[in-house]
Amino acid sequence: MTNLAVAQTTPTKKLSTQMCALLFIFSADSALMAAVETCVDLKTESIDWPEIRRRCASPGHLAAISLAYAIWTDQIMEGCNPFELALNMDAKLQRSCLQALAMRWGHKA
């Protein structure tokens, strides 16, 4: 059996609502996605938050990361106020964060 055949017959695990919400935020900005993509493991649904925080230098990206962290852990990232930082996000990133929160809370985004 080829690798493609194995991949097609192996059931894929559905991603959690939290992971989908985070991916929605990250994919709203190509630079943000490039910074975080190697820190997110979809197979194990694990995230290297300290590394993500080190990689995100812009205040807008830090705001998006802090909101993503809050969605993932139901806690505020130490030393970050996501609502204050949100003023640094562009409109597209702000919209995606609001939609991700709605997804997390079970509302259609």
**What's the whole-model pTM score?**
0.83
pLDDT tens series, the chain, 109 aa:
444 444 444 446 899 999 999 999 999 999 999 999 999 999 999 999 999 999 988 899 999 999 999 999 999 988 888 888 888 999 999 999 999 999 999 987 5
User: What's the longest Cα–Cα distance across the chain?
Assistant: 54
Residues 6+ apart with CB under 8 A from 22: 40, 47, 68, 71, 72, 100
10: which DSSP letter? S
CA 7 to chain centre: 25
Of the candidates 56, 59, 10, the one whose C-alpha atom is nearest the C-alpha of residue 34 is 56
**In this structure, what are the phi and psi dihedrals at residue 76, rounded to the nearest 5 degrees?**
-90, 135
